Amino acid sequence: MSNPSILILPGDGIGPEVMAEVRKVIGWYGEKRDLNFDLSEDLVGGAAYDAHGTPLTDETMAKAQAVDAVLLGAVGGPAYDDLDFSVKPERGLLRLRKEMDLFANLRPAQCFDALADFSSLKKNVVSGLDIMIVRELTSGSYFGEPRGIFDLPDGQREGINTQRYTTNEIRRVARAAFELAKKRGNKLCSMEKANVMESGILWREEVTWVHENEYPEVELSHMYADNGAMQLVRWPKQFDVIVTDNLFGDILSDCAAMLTGSLGMLPSASLGVLMENGRPKAMYEPVHGSAPDITGQGKANPIACILSFAMALRYSFDQGAEAERLENAIETVLADGARTADLLGPEDGSPISTGEMGDAIIAALGASL
């Protein structure tokens, strides 16, 4: 059997810095756990634009389609702000998501105990929090037609976006969410606005259909998305898995993510249909961007990117126990007081560097054996 393959796309800004720490972790798994991957690396975003005049070449796109999983750092930066929209770094990312048809975006919001004080909510509200938001990523109002800005006969202008969903689009993301719920707390909450939107009525009906026909053993509830936003900050621990559309998911997942503190801690996975080998099309990436304000200074927190690799272990490579080992190592390092600058207040002592955080995690992994 050949090793599973991973395409590494470090990207721009702090992307390469945090990805270097992920490489250390991947190396450790090869050496100590006999878990080997065929790694390849390529350019995306501004780095690809500088080399090739495009944020993602056709060759890189073909490689991404061929591997078992893509691991991406971050794209963008001030040097590219004035580029034409069609070649902006973010277009590389959107092309990957679109052509790989990554319709389910998984955003965990997990509060490490050592960081519970870092949340803007009270410690007892967030301590031990572990929820997963599944956002539909390839349809809804960010893609629906008609869209555009149009001139009206009376001289005004009109901006239009269209919220549309089909049966299949709803059912496939619902299935992804039910599958996750089965592996976690067996509870799924679906959020929409069925009180005021027809697309919300269809969403509720189709999620209910999938529940009744395919996952009756999972506990399903429905909630209007505005109430969902309130409940997320009131008592987030009532949730296990949440499934929602592209627009509401964009907002709700950012809200849930911030319950846990720093942007430097947040991983994500985007999954598509199952490939012939039984693995889903998949891309793993931290939620944060390229952080130009701290690039090249050794200040970036590599944990979001390392946790994204943990998600790859769990969702692409069926290595749930090893994913847990990695998450526990991070928990240990944080409990021991290791902090990059983003995890410290102004009077909280001195930070460690990106590389030191990576080394501390490797040491904790070593101690777990």
Where along the sequence are the contacts to ligand NAD (CB under 6 A)?
A: 14, 18, 74-77, 90, 93, 263-264, 285, 288-294, 300-301, 304, 342
CA-to-CA dists, residue 346 to 114, 185, 227, 342, angstroms? 18, 38, 35, 10
Which residues are bridge partners to 105 per DSSP?
Answer: 135, 270
CB of 304 to ligand NAD, least distance (A): 5
**Of 113, 130, 254, 359, which one is the catalytic site residue?**
254
From the candidates 24, 101, 130, 142, which is the catalytic residue?
Answer: 142
Q: Whole-number minimum distance, CB 300 to ligand NAD, in Å?
A: 4
How far apart, in Å, are the Cα atoms of 214 and each of 190, 203, 206, 208, 209?
16, 16, 12, 10, 8
- We find the least distance from the C-beta atom of residue 80 to ligand NAD, in angstroms, to be 7
Looking at beta carbons, which pairs linking 362-366 to residues 24 or more positions away fall under 8 Å?
A: 362/24, 362/25, 362/28, 364/328, 364/329, 364/330, 364/332, 364/333, 365/25, 365/28, 365/32, 365/325, 365/326, 365/329, 366/28, 366/32
Nearer to ligand NAD, 19 or 121 (CB): 19
Which of 278/349 has CB closer to ligand NAD? Answer: 349
Helix (H) or strand (E) holding 333: helix 320-335
CA–centroid distance for 138 within its chain: 14
Q: Rank residues 81 and 347 by Cβ distance to ligand NAD and give the closer one.
A: 81
Q: The tokens of 82 are what?
A: 């004035």
Catalytic-residue membership of 254 = yes
Q: Please check whether residue 302 is in contact with residue 22, taking contact to mean a CB–CB distance below 8 angstroms.
A: yes
Task: Kindly tell me which of 228 and 302 has the beta carbon lying closer to ligand NAD.
Answer: 302
- Cα end-to-end span (Å), the chain: 26
Using alpha carbons, select from 108, 114, 330 the residue that is nearest to residue 239. 108
* Helix, strand, coil content of the chain in percent (nearest 5): 45, 20, 30
Structure tokens at 51: 């080399």
Whether 40 contacts 34, CB under 8 Å? no
- Nearer to ligand NAD among residue 69 and residue 191 (C-beta): 69
Q: Catalytic residue among 12, 42, 68, 250, which?
A: 250
Q: Exposure pattern of 338-363 as b/e (b: 16+ CB <10 Å)?
A: bbbbbbeeeeeeebbbbeebbbbbbb
- CB of 264: closest distance to ligand NAD in angstroms? 3
Minimum distance of ligand NAD from residue 119's CB (angstroms): 16
Nearer to ligand NAD, 116 or 306 (CB): 306
Least separation in angstroms between CB 261 and ligand NAD: 11
Q: Which residue number, 16 or 77, has a Cβ lying nearer to ligand NAD?
A: 77
193 flagged as catalytic: yes
Q: Give catalytic status of residue 215 as yes or no.
A: no
Six token digits for residue 123: 């410690």
Q: Is 226 a catalytic residue?
A: yes
Tell me how far apart the alpha carbons of residues 358 and 18 are, in angstroms, rounded to a whole number: 9
Q: Is 142 tagged catalytic? A: yes
Of the candidates 88, 193, 281, 299, the residue annotated as catalytic is 193
Pick 144 or 292: Cβ nearer ligand NAD: 292
Q: Are 94 and 35 in contact (CB under 8 A)?
A: no
Class of residue 34 by CB neighbours under 10 A (exposed 0-12, middle 13-18, buried 19+): exposed
Residues known to be catalytic: 142, 193, 226, 250, 254
